[in-house]
Structure 1
Amino acid sequence: MATPGAVLPGTAQRQALPRWPIFALFAAFPVWWFLGAVPVLPPVLATIMAFYLLNSKRVIILPGVAPWFLFIIWVAAAVVNVQGAGDLMGFGLRAMDIVLAGVSMLYVANAGSSLPKERIVNYLVIVWIAIVGLGFLALMIPETRLNTVLGSVLPGSVTSNELVRNLVTPALAEVQRPWGAPEPFVRPAAPFPYANSWGAAFAMLVPVIVARMAMMRHRALSVLLGVILALSFIPAVATSNRGMFVGLAIAVAYALFRHLGLGHWRMVAIIFSGVAALAVALVASGAVSGILGRQEYSDSTGGRLALYAKTWEQSLQAPILGHGTPRIDPTIGVSLGSQGFLWTLMFCYGFVGLALFLYFFAGGLLRTWRQSTVPDVWLHASVLGGICLIPFYGLSVLQLAVLTTVLTVLLRQRYVGAHE
């Protein structure tokens, strides 16, 4: 295990791990979605990366990552409380997302020569641009649902699971028609099953985009990315995700605080002007009133609070290993543990599983918060803002992988060296 503060000897002499598995995880994610193959992405890529790691002469385990692997063990133990084949399938899908996040952390930690920070950030920029592009497409043809390759070959017994069905026959948008609304609400979702997942990915990737702009040497490319960033708020606003804006606000406020402390006055001025321009645009365009107007026809806040209370109550009945998977509550007609990753962790894996997850991220953020370049501050803000979303939104394979990979890049930079 690496010694804190030290650069590990011999890292440059190890045979470089290939970069393509991480490219396939992030940059090629929309392709997996288009094929309906997102459910098979975690086991396939985790197996491939594990194969390369096992055939590597030496594997670095960075300080701070051990709690994640304890978390994996705890998740595996929670299978004893799973009831029925359908629930077992849902359990397996969620567990493999967590396993892939762990394996990809090890892979990134050991692939510094082939996967430097800038390359990984580039992959994240690619997937963000694809998410934004699909967001615009969803606004144009919202009723479209893909008949994917995998969805066409799977038997009905498998696609009867709601989570599997939404993954293998995905819709471009959630089109919601609450009673009394004058027109339906079109909420971009692709390449995810739900609009909230789109919002979560958007919120944690926007700081990564700012980090990439700060790393660019060509002003024209930076301006182009900035224009795309400004336009990206059109589909973002259409999702009506209040939690997304909460996560973004926390990330930006944290970055502003850090830049003030570090004396990055140019970045401070950019943040103030950017936030002011966005606020004016949101109010002037009617976006704010549109988001608030949706609440007139859909009491999502009150419904969620009732669901959270019920989830807490039921979690107390299985506080150690949890219930394994979300379970439908007949009194409210919604699955407990399905609305917000914090509640999923608590309900499915118990308070111990939740504590291990939070301990991993808290420890990682504390270990890396002193990194002081402009890009590193924004990468750190990405993880912090993303974690602040878990009371509201679920985290699927891409969101988990983004958070753990960005944090691993920062940990690797501290313990292995900036050249990695």
Structure 2
Amino acid sequence: MRLPAPATWPIAAFLVGYPLWWALGFGGLSIIVVACPMAVVLWRRRPITVPKGMGLWMLLIAGYLVSGLMLADTPPGTYGELGTGRVLGYVMRLALYLALLVMVLYLGNLTAEELPQRTLVRMLGVLFVTTVAGGLLGVLAPSFEFTSPVEMLLPEWISGNSFVRNLIHPTAAQMQHVLGHASPRPEAPFEWANAWGSNVSVLLVWFVVGWWSYGGMVRRLLCVVLAGVATIPIVYSLNRGLWIGLAVAVGYVLVRARPRTGPMIGAAIAAVALVFAAGPLTAIVGQRLDNPHSNRIRTFTVTSTLEAAAHSPVIGYGNTRNAFGNYQTITTGKTGWCAECGHPPLGSDGQLWLLLITQGFTGALLYVAFFTGAIRRHWRDRTPIGQAGTLVMILVLLYMFVYDGLVTALSLYLISFALLWRNAQDATASKEGTATPLTRVAPSGTGTTTSRAGVATSGTGVAASRAGVATSGTGVAASRAGVATSRGRATTAVTGAMARVWP
């Protein structure tokens, strides 16, 4: 088995090595750690190719920097003062946004030889298997937890913060009274149950692409088995957003299926639905649908978020806030006589609401425009990767109403975006016969060679090197693979693509 190229180790460490990050206490914040070597790779390969639409993400980051000016402000209907928790949350989100920017540029500037598309997809498939294993752990051993090394090293005033603790303290499941009694909701190896639900659906999409669309008979058989096993934690997650997302994915597959394969896919989905309906898991689904009490909590927090965001609609408040009261009482926080008086912070019920409170309506519009633009640009890509990536972009816009993108979810969203970008680069190179960061043409002994940077040389018997450097006068051109000579005069055209040289 060929080892990955050295430049690809950061993304491999993040996706394949995620269980280790989780056990150490880094979890989703590990993307910030691996972004450092990614940035080194980018620095050595500058200037950097930037995808269309990435300017919107950069504007989102710039807006978040401006929103930091409002950290000390308290909008009407909320309480709390500027403290360590608020500053930590702001800094962590800023670092995450920057790390994701680095990650996308890093992935798009690796060559197909260094990181083939299928390899990246299968890395996501490995993380899907890890997620299913964590979900089963949450179902079978919901009380499993331990103190991570990071948690041991951090001072109490940091590790004791509830938000930070969720990120650094590994647990198998959250025990909640969603069904009227204590029941586990799997969350391993992610930060909370809703993150598990969002991530497993996105990873399932890429798992099917890597193991079914690009897999042989054995991989396809394993794909069916593992997808079937995944239904157990998916149902026990009691996650209606996840269930709706899977229904949207099924509808998307049926709509975009080719006429020849559409009926077969529809028949297979119908057979799976019948088998599921005949099983014991349907009772749990029915109980969850009969207990929609969280709707009232969401209604209260979303309404309060909109009211607070209206007082700073352009730049928001930099971080979440706590509202007075909840959907049952004007009392704020849990007390001995009102155990249900607590409520989640404003902006914690979905990425859209988080952006509204942290960055105002401007930030929310930039986020929506970023992912909507990706759908528009890549909708015509009918390859398995193109269709899967477009589906993920659609799920992002659906999940922003019910799931936070932070911390791990945004990493998977942006990796999916990078896969779409890489696919488009590869398609463009194939059509134009030029080289891109994803397509490299090997040098030949004679004739004209196109370098990876897309440098073309003209003349008789001129060979362009990988760096696009040619010498003229005697018609001798030095290629990267060797030296080709020719007779006569040779005119060498060296374009500005010299800046595309990679070390």
Could you tell me whether the CA contact under 8 Å between 1:386 and 1:403 is conserved in 2? Answer: yes
One-letter amino acid of the counterpart of residue 407, structure 2? V
Could you tell me whether the CA contact under 8 Å between 2:187 and 2:196 is conserved in 1? Answer: yes
Could you tell me whether the CA contact under 8 Å between 1:365 and 1:407 is conserved in 2? Answer: no
1:383 deviation in Å?
A: 2.5
RMSD: 2.0
SS of residue in 2 equivalent to 1:187: strand
**Alpha-carbon distance in structure 1 between the residues aligned to 2:143 and 2:30:** 26
SS of residue in 2 equivalent to 1:61: coil
Q: Does 1:340 align with 2:350?
A: yes
- Match 2:278 to one of 253, 275, 284: 284
Q: Structure 1 residues 398 and 154, CA, compared in 2 at 3 Å: closer, same or farther?
A: same
Q: Structure 1 residues 186 and 40, CA, compared in 2 at 3 Å: closer, same or farther?
A: closer
One-letter amino acid of the counterpart of residue 76, structure 1? L
1:38 deviation in Å?
A: 2.7
SS of residue in 2 equivalent to 1:174: strand
Deviations 1:334-372 (A, max 9, x none): 311111111111111111111111111111111111111
- State the TM-score, normalized to the length of structure 2: 0.75
SS of residue in 2 equivalent to 1:377: helix
SS of residue in 2 equivalent to 1:335: coil
Could you tell me whether the CA contact under 8 Å between 2:31 and 2:411 is conserved in 1? Answer: no
One-letter amino acid of the counterpart of residue 87, structure 2? L
Q: Which residue of structure 2 aligns with residue 93 of structure 1?
A: 92
Q: Does 1:105 align with 2:104?
A: yes
Q: Does 1:63 align with 2:61?
A: no
Q: How does 1:133-144 map to 2 (within 5 A)?
A: 133-144=133-144
Could you tell me whether the CA contact under 8 Å between 1:341 and 1:394 is conserved in 2? Answer: yes
**Alpha-carbon distance in structure 1 between the residues aligned to 2:425 and 2:413:** 18
Could you tell me whether the CA contact under 8 Å between 2:323 and 2:346 is conserved in 1? Answer: yes
1:217 deviation in Å?
A: 4.3
Deviations 1:361-417 (A, max 9, x none): 111111111111234312321222233111001122321121111122212221354
1:222 deviation in Å?
A: 1.5
Q: Which residue of structure 2 aligns with residue 325 of structure 1?
A: 319
Q: Which moved more, 1:332-341 or 1:285-294?
A: 285-294
Q: Which residue of structure 1 aligns with residue 20 of structure 2?
A: 31
SS of residue in 1 equivalent to 2:257: helix
- Match 1:314 to one of 308, 313, 328: 308
Q: Which moved more, 1:371-380 or 1:166-175?
A: 371-380
SS of residue in 2 equivalent to 1:71: helix
Q: Does 1:300 align with 2:294?
A: yes
Give identity over the alignment, percent. 27
SS of residue in 1 equivalent to 2:184: strand
1:282 deviation in Å?
A: 3.5
**Alpha-carbon distance in structure 2 between the residues aligned to 1:402 and 1:227:** 23
Q: How does 1:189-204 map to 2 (within 5 A)?
A: 189-204=187-202
Q: Which moved more, 1:235-244 or 1:76-85?
A: 76-85
Q: How does 1:226-375 map to 2 (within 5 A)?
A: 226-260=224-258, 263=259, 265-266=260-261, 268-294=262-288, 296=290, 299-332=293-326, 333-375=343-385
Q: Which residue of structure 1 aligns with residue 330 of structure 2?
A: none
**Alpha-carbon distance in structure 2 between the residues aligned to 1:270 and 1:52:** 45
Q: Does 1:152 align with 2:146?
A: no
Q: Structure 1 residues 335 and 225, CA, compared in 2 at 3 Å: closer, same or farther?
A: same
Q: Which residue of structure 2 aligns with residue 3 of structure 1?
A: none
One-letter amino acid of the counterpart of residue 95, structure 1? L
One-letter amino acid of the counterpart of residue 198, structure 2? A
SS of residue in 2 equivalent to 1:334: coil
| Alignment gaps of 5+ in structure 2 | 72-81, 327-342, 431-437, 440-503
- State the TM-score, normalized to the length of structure 1: 0.89
**Alpha-carbon distance in structure 1 between the residues aligned to 2:53 and 2:351:** 21
Q: Which residue of structure 1 aligns with residue 406 of structure 2?
A: 396
One-letter amino acid of the counterpart of residue 198, structure 1? W
Structure with the higher helix share, 1 or 2: 1
Q: Structure 1 residues 335 and 112, CA, compared in 2 at 3 Å: closer, same or farther?
A: same
Q: Which moved more, 1:388-397 or 1:228-237?
A: 388-397
**Alpha-carbon distance in structure 2 between the residues aligned to 1:394 and 1:53:** 29
1:270 deviation in Å?
A: 4.5
1:279 deviation in Å?
A: 2.4
1:235 deviation in Å?
A: 0.5
Q: Structure 1 residues 398 and 274, CA, compared in 2 at 3 Å: closer, same or farther?
A: farther
Q: Structure 1 residues 95 and 286, CA, compared in 2 at 3 Å: closer, same or farther?
A: farther
**Alpha-carbon distance in structure 2 between the residues aligned to 1:17 and 1:353:** 36
Q: Which residue of structure 2 aligns with residue 117 of structure 1?
A: 117
| Alignment gaps of 5+ in structure 1 | 1-15
Q: Structure 1 residues 274 and 157, CA, compared in 2 at 3 Å: closer, same or farther?
A: farther
One-letter amino acid of the counterpart of residue 202, structure 1? V
Could you tell me whether the CA contact under 8 Å between 1:138 and 1:189 is conserved in 2? Answer: yes
**Alpha-carbon distance in structure 1 between the residues aligned to 2:267 and 2:225:** 15
Could you tell me whether the CA contact under 8 Å between 2:10 and 2:34 is conserved in 1? Answer: yes
Q: Structure 1 residues 334 and 382, CA, compared in 2 at 3 Å: closer, same or farther?
A: closer
1:271 deviation in Å?
A: 3.0
1:57 deviation in Å?
A: 4.0
Could you tell me whether the CA contact under 8 Å between 2:23 and 2:148 is conserved in 1? Answer: yes
Q: Structure 1 residues 230 and 147, CA, compared in 2 at 3 Å: closer, same or farther?
A: same
Q: Which moved more, 1:206-215 or 1:323-332?
A: 206-215
**Alpha-carbon distance in structure 1 between the residues aligned to 2:168 and 2:353:** 25
Could you tell me whether the CA contact under 8 Å between 2:19 and 2:189 is conserved in 1? Answer: yes
**Alpha-carbon distance in structure 1 between the residues aligned to 2:127 and 2:402:** 23
SS of residue in 2 equivalent to 1:232: helix
Could you tell me whether the CA contact under 8 Å between 1:196 and 1:241 is conserved in 2? Answer: yes
1:99 deviation in Å?
A: 1.6
Q: Which residue of structure 2 aligns with residue 13 of structure 1?
A: none
Q: Structure 1 residues 77 and 241, CA, compared in 2 at 3 Å: closer, same or farther?
A: same
Q: Structure 1 residues 285 and 214, CA, compared in 2 at 3 Å: closer, same or farther?
A: closer
